[in-house]
């Protein structure tokens, strides 16, 4: 593990680079998948599912009977934990509902804004090396609160043609309307274009591998919205003298075990602390079931030592981490200096894991430096905002002449006429 002590600012840009996210060479492959699904529908999905998931499927939809049966296949303790997480996620996301407020910009001119749910949303839930049922909660719960009419979920089948029962249980619990046994870029293509069995949606959410990421990018070119650009998962931990090295190491490894291309970064004010943390990382890594994946991720990672926490904050803002853990005594004060982060975890007792699962905040967050310009998923992600305006006769008399002047200055006579004719009729 490389430790950089007081790196000069000329090095900072290089020290914010993530592992190469080589997507350009996948575009032609994914574009072919997208076009085949567009043109051939379910037939293309069957072919790709047999080729990539190694299972022959005639029907991709998960039946109501299968969804109901999944409940009994999930241990009671896990069901209770999922329900607790769901309640917290719902509580937090319901708090994001905003009351409509009408504003009178001038006498007789009223303006306001209202939310409307996106009618059809698609959720992609990876199967891969771990069943991400927690992501079902993070996406389906706010979609349900927002009032989305159709919530379509796609997740890759295993070799037996099944989706993990915990994913199905969470989907049923959160009001998902349709579940399909589909994975990879072909699932994104199905939700983008629609097929005989899979409905077309208006916005796609959810993480995935590089093929899924490229497919979501191409879906945007077809007029769909997506949650946000995505890269591999990441965490940056700021640790002061009071932070336990074993806790910091566990936080770093909890992100490293996501995948070989994840990145973890430690920022501290002591070289001795940095070395102690990495000794703890080595000791804990050896005990992890996913140690091979985590070890590859650790090779992408680094430590930085700053004598000045003000300077450290500037580096954090340049890095713009997906997850930022402030394992510090004055965590709230330091957080006030942070402008760019997906989600912040404050203090010695707040591991990133709680946000991943059950504190209530959403774990679908901008990665790869996109926290400089993107927010994580929230209730707003599942809605559009419609603006309204209403003028009284008095309001039109007051505002109309201003609009006439502006329209004439832009040489838009019909715009002026729309006001002038009304004003004339009021006289």
Average pLDDT over residues 276-305: 92
Q: How far apart are CA 411 and CA 386, in angstroms?
A: 28
380, 96 in Cβ contact below 8 A?
yes
DSSP state of 370: G
Structure tokens at 396: 């039109």
37, 190 in Cβ contact below 8 A?
yes
Q: CA Rg, the chain, in Å?
A: 25
CA dihedral 95, 340, 265, 345 (to 10 degrees): -30
Binding residues for substrate: 233, 255, 258, 323, 356, 410, 415
Binding residues: 124, 186, 209, 233, 255, 258, 323, 356, 410, 415
> Coil, strand or helix: which one is 304?
strand
What pLDDT does 130 receive?
A: 72
What pLDDT does 388 receive?
A: 98
What is the CA 421 to chain-centroid distance, rounded? 49
pLDDT tens profile 335-387: 999 999 999 999 999 999 999 999 999 999 999 999 999 999 999 999 999 99
- For 10, half-sphere exposure in the C-beta direction (CA atoms, 13 angstrom radius) is 0
What pLDDT does 127 receive?
A: 85
User: pLDDT band for position 129 (50/70/90)?
Assistant: low
DSSP string, 248-273: HHHHHHHHHTT-TT-EEEEEES-HHH
Residues of the chain with CATH 3.40.50.1980: 2-18+231-360, 24-104+117-226
User: pLDDT band for position 128 (50/70/90)?
Assistant: low
268, 355 in Cβ contact below 8 A?
no
pLDDT tens profile 62-84: 999 999 999 999 999 999 999 99
Binding residues for NAD(+): 124, 186, 209
What pLDDT does 404 receive?
A: 98
Q: Which residues pair with 61 in a beta bridge?
A: 180
What pLDDT does 379 receive?
A: 98
* Catalytic annotation, pick one of 257, 323, 352, 363: 323
User: pLDDT band for position 131 (50/70/90)?
Assistant: confident
Instruction: Report the topology of domain 392-426.
Output: 1.20.5
Backbone angles phi, psi at 414, to 5 degrees: -65, -35
Nearest to 173 by CA among 95, 84, 91: 84
Select 24-104+117-226's CATH number: 3.30.160.150, 3.40.190.10, 3.40.50.1980, 2.40.30.40. Answer: 3.40.50.1980
pLDDT tens profile 152-164: 999 999 999 999 9
- Burial classification of residue 139, based on how many CB atoms lie within 10 Å of its CB (0-12 exposed, 13-18 middle, 19 or more buried): buried
User: pLDDT band for position 22 (50/70/90)?
Assistant: confident
45, 154 in Cβ contact below 8 A?
no
* Active-site annotation holds for 323: yes
Residues of the chain with CATH 1.20.5.1300: 392-426
Within 96-209, where are the H helices?
133-146, 165-173, 184-193
360, 382 in Cβ contact below 8 A?
no
* Catalytic annotation, pick one of 234, 257, 322, 352: 322
Q: How far apart are CA 38 and CA 51, in angstroms?
A: 18
Average pLDDT over residues 6-16: 95
- For 179, half-sphere exposure in the C-beta direction (CA atoms, 13 angstrom radius) is 28
Q: Look-up: residue for tokens 């102690």? A: 276
DSSP state of 327: E
* 24 vs 358: which has the higher pLDDT: 358
Structure tokens at 305: 């030592």
* Active-site annotation holds for 322: yes
Structure tokens at 150: 């159709």
6, 306 in Cβ contact below 8 A?
yes
Q: How far apart are CA 142 and CA 86, in angstroms?
A: 10
Structure tokens at 83: 């329900």
Report the CATH number of the 2-18+231-360 domain: 3.40.50.1980
pLDDT tens profile 178-220: 999 999 999 999 999 999 999 999 999 999 989 999 999 999 9
What pLDDT does 296 receive?
A: 86
pLDDT for residue 93 is more than 70: yes
Average pLDDT over residues 247-251: 97
Binding residues for Zn(2+): 255, 258, 356, 415
């Amino acid at each position: 593990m490389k430790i950089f002590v007081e790196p000069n600012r000329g090095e900072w840009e290089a020290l914010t680079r993530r592992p190469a996210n080589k997507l350009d060479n996948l575009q032609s492959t994914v574009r072919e998948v997208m076009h085949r699904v567009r043109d051939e529908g379910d037939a293309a999905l069957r072919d790709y599912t047999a080729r990539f998931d190694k299972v022959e499927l005639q029907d991709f939809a998960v039946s109501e009977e299968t969804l109901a049966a999944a409940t009994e296949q999930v241990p009671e303790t896990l069901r209770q934990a999922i329900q607790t997480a769901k309640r917290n996620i719902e509580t937090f996301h319901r708090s994001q509902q905003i009351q409509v407020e009408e504003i009178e910009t001038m006498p007789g001119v009223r303006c306001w804004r209202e939310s409307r749910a996106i009618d059809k949303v698609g959720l992609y839930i990876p199967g891969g090396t771990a069943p991400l049922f927690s992501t079902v909660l993070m996406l389906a719960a706010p979609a349900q609160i927002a009032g989305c009419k159709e919530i379509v979920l796609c997740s890759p089948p295993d070799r037996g043609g099944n989706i993990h029962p915990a994913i199905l249980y969470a989907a049923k619990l959160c009001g998902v309307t349709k579940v399909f046994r589909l994975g990879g870029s072909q699932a994104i293509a199905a939700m983008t274009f629609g097929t005989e069995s899979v409905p077309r949606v208006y916005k796609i959410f959810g993480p995935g591998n590089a093929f899924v990421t490229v497919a979501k990018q191409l879906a945007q070119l077809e007029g769909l919205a997506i949650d946000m650009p995505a890269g591999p998962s990441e965490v940056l931990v700021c640790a002061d003298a009071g932070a336990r090295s074993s806790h910091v190491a566990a936080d770093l490894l909890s992100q490293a075990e996501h995948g070989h291309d994840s990145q973890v970064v430690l920022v501290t004010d002591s070289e001795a602390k940095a070395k102690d943390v990495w000794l703890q990382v080595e000791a804990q890594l050896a005990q992890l079931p996913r140690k091979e994946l985590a070890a590859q991720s650790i090779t992408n990672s680094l430590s930085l030592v700053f004598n000045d926490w003000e300077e450290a904050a500037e580096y954090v803002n340049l890095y713009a981490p997906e997850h930022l853990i402030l394992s510090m005594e004055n965590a709230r004060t330091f957080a006030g200096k942070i402008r760019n982060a997906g989600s912040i975890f404050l203090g010695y007792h707040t591991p990133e894991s709680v946000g991943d699962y059950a504190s209530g905040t959403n774990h679908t967050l901008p990665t790869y430096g996109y926290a400089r310009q993107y927010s994580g998923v929230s209730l707003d992600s599942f809605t559009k905002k419609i603006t309204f305006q209403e003028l009284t006769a008095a309001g039109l008399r007051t505002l109309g002449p201003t609009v006439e002047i502006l329209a004439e200055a832009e040489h838009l006579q019909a715009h002026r006429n729309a006001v002038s004719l009304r004003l004339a009729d009021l006289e």
